[in-house]
Amino acid sequence: MRDPEVCLKELCVTTTVDEKYEAYIPLFIYCFNKAYPEHDLKIYYRGDISPHFEKYCAVGENVVEGFGLTLENNIATTPSIRFLVPQVDFEDYRYTLFTDIDILFRREPNGIVAPHLKAMEKNHLECYENIMLKTIRGPSMPGVHFVTREWWPDTAQTRVQYWQDLYENPNIANYKGFDEYMLYNMHLDSNLPLPNIGHDSWRLHGIHLGAYRNKNSNPPISTVDNEFLRELWADADFVELYNICRFRNKIVYLPRPVEEKK
């Protein structure tokens, strides 16, 4: 009999999104598929993709429409339910990476999986890799979250409970950042080891466009990100897609690379 482990795919990257951030989807798909064509992608959309973006989104292949429609849409509902997607959709993968829709993936020398496994072993975490943040509201975990196949059954009961909580009391998600507090408490309630406080092992795997949504913010651009910006702005297909997305929603903004002073 064939070992089922042999048949497993390596990685699926997933997130959830609604109409507010729909314009990020084509850019997310374009960059991810270009960077990691060997991995799979599942985006859960709360509704139906608009005609403006449908042809760029590979509905049925990369995008699952109509997810989470029974839940009221509060500020943090959509980012929260990315961790509550159906386990059955990921049973064919060794690993899953939950992420944000406004990240442009770039290919990294060590890929996605290896750095997370190394950090997971270093921090003595059993089936996931993340960090813990200490905030005014209490401990939380960032939304870019790496898990192994074992994480799904280990958190199954807790995830069902949080879905029920969001259904019965939608106001619990009425503030920004609820998803990150929920993620921390999911692991606490599932009796899983918790990570140390710190940023040493957290990684985005690309450029976070959300950092540039506020026109008054001017986050520093690393050397690696700056080189990636050069590649993106030199990619005619990407630029055409970017212009389409930005035309539909000005929330989409990608900075130009910083030019070196001569």
246: enclosing H helix or E strand: helix 236-248
The count of domains in the chain is 1
In a domain, 71, yes or no: yes
256 lies in a domain?
Answer: no
Return per-residue pLDDT of the chain as tens, 262 residues: 345 566 899 999 999 999 999 999 999 999 999 999 999 999 999 999 999 899 898 877 899 999 999 999 999 999 999 999 999 999 999 999 999 999 999 999 999 999 999 999 988 998 999 999 988 889 999 999 999 999 999 999 999 999 999 999 999 999 999 999 999 999 999 999 998 776 555 689 999 999 988 767 778 889 999 999 999 999 999 999 999 999 999 999 999 998 876 5
SS3 259: coil
In a domain, 214, yes or no: yes
The DSSP output letter for 175 is S
Looking at the domain assignment, is residue 262 inside a domain?
A: no
Q: How far apart are CA 261 and CA 145, in angstroms?
A: 37
Phi, psi (5° rounding) for residue 216?
Answer: -85, -10
For residue 58, the enclosing domain spans 4-248
Q: Which residue intervals of 12-170 are DSSP H helices?
A: 25-35, 51-54, 77-80, 113-122, 151-168
Which CATH number is 107's domain given?
3.90.550
Of the candidates 171, 193, 74, 220, the residue with the CA atom closest to the CA atom of residue 127? 193
What's CA 110's distance to the chain center, in Å? 19
Instruction: For residue 84, tell me if it sits in a domain.
Output: yes
Q: What backbone phi and psi angles, to 5 degrees, belong to 44? A: -100, 120
For residue 255, being part of any structural domain is answered with no
On the CB side of 172, CA atoms within 13 Å amount to: 16
Is residue 224 assigned to a domain? yes
Q: How far apart are CA 54 and CA 63, in angstroms?
A: 10
Give me the residue label for tokens 């990691």: 36
